[in-house]
Chains A and B, each alone.
Chain A
């Protein structure tokens, strides 16, 4: 387990049951997923039943129980992106990487998911790769964008 990372995160929040979602968010941000042993450890520490922590980790979309790629790709499927062809963008990415939504490439470089509106609708269609945001993405430029990584 990534003990140091988890400990640092736990120190940042009050030791209270209500901190659980915030702690899980920080873990997700740092490790890109929530490993089982971390889930158990955090539950124990905050005195939240594991069943409930698991419930939270599956209820909220921000959490992933499976490791993600080094560069998680999120295709925005908000309304503005939808009318500008987000579905086609997603399919093209799936074709390029030969994985489906929710999966990770075998080399662990990319994982593909969709997100509901990133709030920059003026740039639709929008795709984020890792921490970079690409706006007004044309279908024909997708392979070029992915090659940058």
Chain B
């Protein structure tokens, strides 16, 4: 049945956590109450991307964008918009510092500057219904491939497109497929790496949540090209919604004959098994991932023999990341030329000569518009952070953007006009990585951030090789020393030396890239390290041993009238003062937890 209006309610992890399913139920009951159930349909979609303003909903076909919905808003919204035909202004998006709301989703800067290939179906289909995917061109590419192309044609096309691995390494996909295909043996495997371990990254989760069929179709095409009949998706156990949608999608694809024996009635068999990860970051590394599928601890091995030659169960294996797979069907449908026309450089002679297509980033941290974005390669970091991201929260000052997760580095303001491109990001000491982009502002301490990432990689080091296991531990000790104010100038030299040693001698990329956050902060924010070492001060006000909290007596009495809220909340009993009188911090007792700073409504508390 055709409806006059569709309400696309976001059911990505973020919005579901913000009770979007209750919003959906309420919408349905309010619509029924008014007898509109045959005219207005409520659809749950995958992640819309604009997580900052969830729970959200898009009214189609008009494209009106409603945000920050509450259950209590719904009755009014249904009455006004769908009975009386007046969009509710208060629930529309208004950019920070502006007064006039923007009703249409396509006019909102967050969406306007994006180019969607991988996420083209986000918010437009119900990912749990295969027909909706097919209606939007799903499985058309595999049909074309199976009926009109040879495996070699497919590989040629992928090579010409310039597609490179989106998991972070940036290895040319076509070359990987070609090498894998050439390997002898009856059994070849394809694997989809959905073990998105980088903290601050959620591209793969959202891709699977919003369009799981694109990933399945990509794997089908890859399997046909390589000559594989068996595929695996290795997905994080921490992503229950993505896992469920993927399993549903695979089941539906099987029922439609799109997976299993004789796909499209052609002489091509392929099926997919889903394997869950068990919470080990190192399993994102291909050899560790394969060990984990085999039921062993996820420890990487040295790769003098590549996995395309001997991978899973020692068979030739082609592993690509979720986003890489999801790009494949569109390349097959729209052609390599089209794909290669987006992005930087030239890949006709040198496969490493450019970055083509788009990249999905998860934009998080201290920006106004946190969420998931897909942008053409070559866009500048400035445009991402200040136009799409809407700038820094609470009018604070930008300090650095971290790309590539624990393997990447920090990029300072002076390099914000850098185009997003594999080589350019590597040149400045960071990397494209899987697509996490976390913004830090003036309140973040760069030494603390480096320590944070290093403690992450240190904990996640599998312990197999010495440089990574011991080297990162020693580096962490030094950083710890610096953040408690006991560091010396020599420590900085030693830290740099150790970093380079760990980079050069680690077994896998985890250790090989673990020092990047340290090296880039040392390079671009050395003055912060020096402030810790020389002046025993933390400019970002994060390192506890080096900061003190104080209450401005004037503000406390004049504005707050000695409200006593800080004293009530202080876990250490470190705030002295009676209600309605001036309060002070007893620095000897103060545990520097920062609760007082958070609860004071009058900004009377400062940190030095």
Contact partner of B594 (CB less than 8 A), chosen from A22, A59, A88, is: A88
- A79 within 8 Å of B by Cβ? yes
Contact, CB under 8 Å: B237 / A25? yes
Inter-chain CA distance A79–B298, complex, in Å, is 23
**Given A115-B238, A140-B595, residue A123 in contact with residue B201 (CB < 8 A):** no
- B366 within 8 Å of A by Cβ? yes
Contact, CB under 8 Å: B200 / A18? no
Contact partner of B278 (CB less than 8 A), chosen from A52, A55, A60, A80, is: A60
0/1 string, B14-38, CB within 8 A of A gives 1: 1011100000000000000000000
CB neighbors of B among A42-99 (8 A): 48, 52, 55-56, 59-63, 77-85, 88, 91-92, 95
Cβ–Cβ < 8 Å partners of B487 in chain A: none
CB neighbors of B among A1-43 (8 A): 16-22, 24-25
Contact, CB under 8 Å: A77 / B199? yes
Contact, CB under 8 Å: B52 / A122? yes
CB neighbors of A among B154-203 (8 A): 196-202
Cβ–Cβ < 8 Å partners of B362 in chain A: 121
Top-8 shortest CB links A-B: A122-B51, A79-B200, A78-B199, A61-B279, A121-B364, A60-B278, A80-B364, A119-B202
Most buried by B among A16, A18, A52: A18
Tell which of B70-78, B88-96, B289-297, B349-357 binds the partner: B289-297
Contact, CB under 8 Å: B239 / A119? yes
- A133 within 8 Å of B by Cβ? yes
Look across to chain B and name the residue whose beta carbon is closest to the beta carbon of A16: B295
Contact, CB under 8 Å: B595 / A117? no
Contact, CB under 8 Å: A79 / B14? no
Interface size range on B against A: 35 or more
Cβ–Cβ < 8 Å partners of B281 in chain A: 116
Given contacts A80-B438, A116-B460, 9 further A-B contacts (CB under 8 A): A59-B462, A78-B199, A82-B452, A92-B593, A95-B571, A115-B279, A117-B238, A120-B202, A123-B17
A-B pairs with beta carbons under 8 Å apart, 5 shown: A56-B295, A60-B280, A60-B298, A117-B197, A119-B196
Most buried by B among A25, A82, A91: A82
Contact, CB under 8 Å: A55 / B276? no
CB distance from A104 to the nearest CB of B (A): 19
Contact partner of B205 (CB less than 8 A), chosen from A21, A63, A119, is: A119
Look across to chain B and name the residue whose beta carbon is closest to the beta carbon of A53: B295
0/1 string, B78-106, CB within 8 A of A gives 1: 00000000000000000000000000000
Inter-chain CA distance A59–B275, complex, in Å, is 17
- B506 within 8 Å of A by Cβ? no
**Given A121-B370, A122-B14, residue A82 in contact with residue B295 (CB < 8 A):** no
Contact, CB under 8 Å: B595 / A139? yes
Look across to chain B and name the residue whose beta carbon is closest to the beta carbon of A60: B278
Contact, CB under 8 Å: B569 / A140? yes
0/1 string, B447-474, CB within 8 A of A gives 1: 0010011001000101000000000000
Inter-chain CA distance A60–B292, complex, in Å, is 10
Cβ–Cβ < 8 Å partners of A112 in chain B: none
**Given A95-B571, A115-B238, residue A120 in contact with residue B438 (CB < 8 A):** no
Cβ–Cβ < 8 Å partners of B205 in chain A: 119
Contact, CB under 8 Å: B238 / A122? no
User: Which residues of A come within 8 Å of B, CB atoms?
Assistant: 16-22, 24-25, 48, 52, 55-56, 59-63, 77-85, 88, 91-92, 95, 115-124, 126, 133-135, 138-140
Inter-chain CA distance A117–B279, complex, in Å, is 11
Contact, CB under 8 Å: A48 / B18? no
Cβ–Cβ < 8 Å partners of A84 in chain B: 365
Inter-chain CA distance A61–B239, complex, in Å, is 15
Contact partner of A55 (CB less than 8 A), chosen from B275, B297, B452, is: B297
Look across to chain B and name the residue whose beta carbon is closest to the beta carbon of A77: B199
- B255 within 8 Å of A by Cβ? no
- B444 within 8 Å of A by Cβ? yes
Look across to chain B and name the residue whose beta carbon is closest to the beta carbon of A122: B51
Contact partner of B364 (CB less than 8 A), chosen from A17, A52, A79, A139, is: A79
Inter-chain CA distance A103–B55, complex, in Å, is 34
Contact, CB under 8 Å: B293 / A61? no
CB distance from A101 to the nearest CB of B (A): 12
Cβ–Cβ < 8 Å partners of A80 in chain B: 199-200, 364-365, 370, 438
Contact, CB under 8 Å: B200 / A121? yes
Cβ–Cβ < 8 Å partners of B460 in chain A: 116
Contact, CB under 8 Å: A21 / B370? no
Contact, CB under 8 Å: A135 / B200? no
Contact, CB under 8 Å: B17 / A119? no
Cβ–Cβ < 8 Å partners of A140 in chain B: 569, 595, 598-599
Contact, CB under 8 Å: A83 / B365? yes
Contact, CB under 8 Å: B594 / A139? yes
CB neighbors of A among B200-242 (8 A): 200-202, 205-206, 236-239
**Given A83-B365, A88-B593, A117-B201, residue A59 in contact with residue B294 (CB < 8 A):** no
Contact, CB under 8 Å: A123 / B279? no
Look across to chain A and name the residue whose beta carbon is closest to the beta carbon of B240: A131
Cβ–Cβ < 8 Å partners of A78 in chain B: 199-200
Cβ–Cβ < 8 Å partners of B598 in chain A: 138-140
Contact, CB under 8 Å: B297 / A59? yes
Look across to chain B and name the residue whose beta carbon is closest to the beta carbon of A56: B297
CB distance from B405 to the nearest CB of A (A): 7
Inter-chain CA distance A115–B594, complex, in Å, is 22
